[in-house]
C-alpha cells in the first residue's frame, strides 16, 4: 500500500500531467520506493485497460420502437407524462398534507378525540397510495419482470412496516415516535410507487 | 449499405425519421455503452439511451456541424445521464430499501475479449456513482477534467479526486 499523500502525484505522474518541477522529486522517490513503483505500473495498466475497453455494447433489445413512438407523437406523449406527473404530485400533496395534519394535532386534542387524526391521515394515505397504484397498473407491463419482482418485494416489506405501525398506533395513538414511523413508511411507499410509475412511463 | 452521415443528419434535421433511425442504428451501441458504464444498470442504460436519442431529435436543429456529429451526440448523452443522475440521486437513496436493483440489472451484452476486461467492467460497475462517472468519462472516454467538471457541475479538483479514488478502489478490487 502506498502513502495516501502520494496518491495524487503518482496518478498525475502516471498520466504524464505532473508539472516538470514535481516530476523530478517523484522520480527520485520512485527510485527508492518499490511500493510506489508498483503503484505506478498498476495505474498505467489500469488506464491502458480502461482505454482498451470496447467502445460499443449493443443493448439486449431494440430500443428504436420506443424512441420512434416518442418522437412521432411528442405532444401526446408530453401530455400523458404531464398528467401522470400531475396525478403523482397530487397524490404526494395529499399525503404531505395528511402527515402535516397529523403532526400538528396538539397532544391534548389527541387525547380528547383519540384516533381521529390517525383516521384522517390513514384515509389520505390510502387515497394517495390507491391513486399511484392505479397509475402504475396501467404502465406495469412496461417494466422488466425482474424489476416488477423487486418492486413487489419492496412493497411487501413497506406494507408490513405500515401494518405494524398501524397496529401499534391503534394501541397508542398519541405516540410521536409511532407517528413518525408510520409517516416514514407511508412516504416510502408513495415514493416507491411514484418511482415505479415514472420508470414504467418512460 | 452506408449512407452519407452528413446527408442523414441533414435529412433528419428536416424531420425525416428514417434518416434519424439510420443515425440511431449507427450510434446506438456507442451511446448504450456510455449509458451502461455511467449508470451500471442495464434498465437505466436503456432508458437513458432512449432519452438521449429523443433529446437529440429535439435538438437536431441546433447541430451546426462545428464538431463531429458523434461528439455532439455523446456529449448530449453524458449530459442526459448526469442530469438525470443528479435529479434521481436523493430519490433512489430513499426508495431502495430492501434490495439492490442494480444487482438484477448488471451490464449485459458486453462481450469483452479477455477475462481481465470483464473483471475491469465488473469492478467499474461496483464503484460509487461519483467515482464511476469520472473514471468512465476520463479513462474510458477520454474527457479532460475541465470538460468533466463542466458536464457534471463539479470543481476540477473534485473531478481529479474522484478519479484518483476510483483508480485506487479499482486497483484494490483487481488485486484481490
* Tally of domains in chain B: 2
Range scoring the smallest mean pLDDT among A70-84, A160-174, B13-27: A70-84
The residue assigned the cell 456507442 is B30
Residue B173 to residue A146: CA distance in whole angstroms: 27
- A192 CB near a chain B CB, below 8 Å? yes
Shared domain for A111 and A187, answered yes or no, is yes
CB atoms within 10 A of CB B148: 24
Residues A67 and A81 both lie in one domain: no
Contact A63 B49 (CB under 8 A): yes
Which pLDDT tens digit goes with each residue over B38-59?
999 999 999 999 999 999 999 9
Structural domain includes residue B78:
yes
ipTM over 0.95: no
Q: How many domains does chain A have?
A: 2
CATH number of the CATH domain containing A188: 1.20.1420
Q: By the CB < 8 Å criterion, does B61 face chain A?
A: no
User: Which residue is associated with the grid cell 495498466?
Assistant: A45
Domain that holds residue B60: 1-103
Give me the pLDDT at residue A110, please: 40
Q: CA-CA distance, A198 to B89, in Å (whole number)?
A: 15
The CATH number for B52's domain is: 1.10.1740.10
pLDDT at B102 over 70: no
The pLDDT confidence band at residue B101, using thresholds 50, 70 and 90, is very low
Query: If we measure between CA atoms, which residue out of B75, B38, B17 comes closest to residue A64?
Result: B17
pLDDT of residue A108: 45
More confident of the two residues B2 and A197: A197
Domain range spanning residue A197? 76-201
Higher pLDDT pick, B144 / A133: B144
**Backbone dihedral angles phi then psi of residue A114, each to the nearest 5 degrees:** -55, 130
Tell me the nearest-neighbour CA distance from A174 into chain B, angstroms.
Answer: 26
Chain B nearest C-alpha distance from A7 (Å): 7
Domain boundary among B57, B74, B103: B103
Question: Is-contact B85 B39, C-beta < 8 A?
Answer: yes
Do A63 and A15 share a structural domain?
yes
Say yes or no: B64 and B4 in one domain: yes
Contacts of A144 in chain B (CB under 8 A): 43, 105
CB contact under 8 Å between B175 and A154, yes or no, is no
Same domain, A98 and A187: yes
Query: Is the same domain home to B87 and B34?
Result: yes
Regarding whether A188 and A95 lie in a shared domain, the answer is: yes
From A171's Cα to the closest Cα of chain B, the distance in A is: 27
Indicate left, alpha or beta for B87 from its phi (over 0: left) and psi (-120 to 50: alpha).
Answer: alpha
Tens digit of each residue's pLDDT (9 = 90 or more) over A38-77: 999 999 999 999 999 999 999 999 999 999 999 986 544 4
- Chain A partners of B170 at a C-beta cutoff of 8 Å? 46
> Do A59 and B139 count as a contact with CB atoms less than 8 A apart?
no
Single pTM value for the model: 0.61
- The residues near A38 (Cβ < 8 Å, ≥ 6 apart) are none
Note the pLDDT of residue B106.
39
In this prediction, residue B118 has a pLDDT band, given cuts at 50, 70 and 90, of: confident
Longest alpha-carbon distance in chain A: 80
Q: Which three cell numbers stand for residue B172?
A: 484494490
B31 and B98 share a domain?
yes
Residue B144 domain-assigned? yes
Closest CA to A119 of A173, A159, A163: A173
CB contact under 8 A, B95 and A66: no
- What are the residues whose beta carbons fall under 8 Å from the beta carbon of A34, sequence distance 6 or more? none
Smallest Cα distance from A188 to chain B, Å? 6
CB contact at 8 A, A156 and A118: no
Interatomic CA distance for residues B129 and B107, integer angstroms: 15
Residue-wise pLDDT for A20-44, tens only, equals 989 999 999 999 999 999 999 999 9
**Chain B window 121-150: which residues touch A at a Cβ cutoff of 8 Å?**
121, 124, 135, 139-140, 142
CB–CB contact B33 A56 (8 Å): yes
Give CA–CA dist B141/A47, Å, rounded: 11
- Tell me the three cell numbers of residue A122: 390513514
Residue with cell 475479449: B113
Query: Is A143 found in the same domain as A62?
Result: no
DSSP 8-state assignment for residue A88 = H
C-alpha triplet B35, B36, B41: angle, nearest 5°: 120
What ranges in A17-73 are assigned the alpha helix state H? Answer: 20-32, 34-51, 64-72
Q: Are B158 and B126 in contact (CB under 8 A)?
A: no
A70 touches B50 (CB < 8 A): yes
Q: Domain boundary at A50, A72, A94, which?
A: A72
Among A17, A42, A72, identify where a domain stops. Answer: A72
Looking at chain A, which residue has its C-alpha nearest residue B173?
A46
All residues of chain B having their beta carbon less than 8 Å from the beta carbon of residue A192 are: 95, 97
Amino acid at each position: 500500500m502506498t502513502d495516501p499523500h502520494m496518491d495524487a502525484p503518482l496518478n498525475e505522474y502516471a498520466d504524464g500531467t505532473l508539472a516538470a518541477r514535481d516530476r523530478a522529486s517523484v522520480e527520485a522517490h520512485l527510485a527508492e520506493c518499490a511500493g510506489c513503483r508498483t503503484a505506478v505500473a498498476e495505474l498505467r495498466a489500469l488506464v491502458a485497460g480502461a482505454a482498451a475497453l470496447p467502445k460499443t455494447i449493443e443493448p439486449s433489445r431494440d430500443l428504436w420502437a420506443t424512441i420512434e413512438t416518442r418522437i412521432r407523437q411528442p405532444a401526446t406523449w408530453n401530455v400523458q407524462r404531464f398528467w401522470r406527473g400531475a396525478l403523482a404530485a397530487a397524490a404526494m400533496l395529499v399525503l404531505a398534507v395528511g402527515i402535516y395534519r397529523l403532526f400538528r394535532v396538539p397532544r391534548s386534542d389527541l387525547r380528547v378525540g383519540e384516533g381521529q387524526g390517525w383516521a384522517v391521515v390513514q384515509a389520505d394515505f390510502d387515497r394517495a397510495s390507491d391513486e399511484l397504484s392505479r397509475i402504475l397498473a396501467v404502465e406495469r407491463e412496461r417494466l422488466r419482470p425482474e424489476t416488477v419482482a423487486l418492486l413487489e418485494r419492496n412493497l411487501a416489506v413497506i406494507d408490513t412496516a405500515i401494518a405494524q405501525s398501524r397496529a401499534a398506533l391503534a394501541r397508542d395513538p398519541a405516540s410521536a415516535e409511532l407517528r413518525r414511523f408510520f409517516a416514514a413508511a407511508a412516504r416510502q411507499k408513495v415514493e416507491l410507487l411514484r418511482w415505479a410509475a415514472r420508470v414504467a412511463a418512460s | 449499405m452506408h449512407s452519407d452521415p452528413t446527408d442523414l443528419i441533414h435529412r433528419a434535421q428536416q424531420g425525416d425519421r428514417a434518416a434519424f433511425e439510420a443515425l440511431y442504428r449507427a450510434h446506438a451501441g456507442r451511446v448504450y455503452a456510455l449509458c451502461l458504464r455511467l449508470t451500471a444498470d442495464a434498465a437505466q442504460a436503456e432508458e437513458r439511451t432512449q432519452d438521449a436519442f429523443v433529446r437529440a431529435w429535439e435538438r437536431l436543429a441546433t447541430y451546426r456541424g462545428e464538431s463531429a456529429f458523434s461528439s455532439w451526440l455523446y456529449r448530449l448523452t453524458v449530459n442526459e445521464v448526469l442530469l438525470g443522475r443528479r435529479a434521481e440521486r436523493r430519490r433512489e437513496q430513499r426508495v431502495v430499501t430492501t434490495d439492490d436493483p442494480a444487482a438484477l440489472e448488471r451490464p449485459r451484452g458486453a462481450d469483452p475479449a479477455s477475462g481481465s476486461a470483464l473483471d475491469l467492467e465488473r469492478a467499474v460497475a461496483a464503484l460509487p456513482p461519483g467515482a464511476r462517472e469520472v473514471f468512465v468519462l476520463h479513462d474510458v472516454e477520454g474527457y479532460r477534467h475541465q470538460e468533466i467538471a463542466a458536464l457534471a457541475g463539479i470543481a476540477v479538483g473534485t473531478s481529479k479526486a474522484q478519479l484518483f479514488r476510483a483508480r485506487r478502489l479499482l486497483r484494490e478490487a483487481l488485486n484481490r
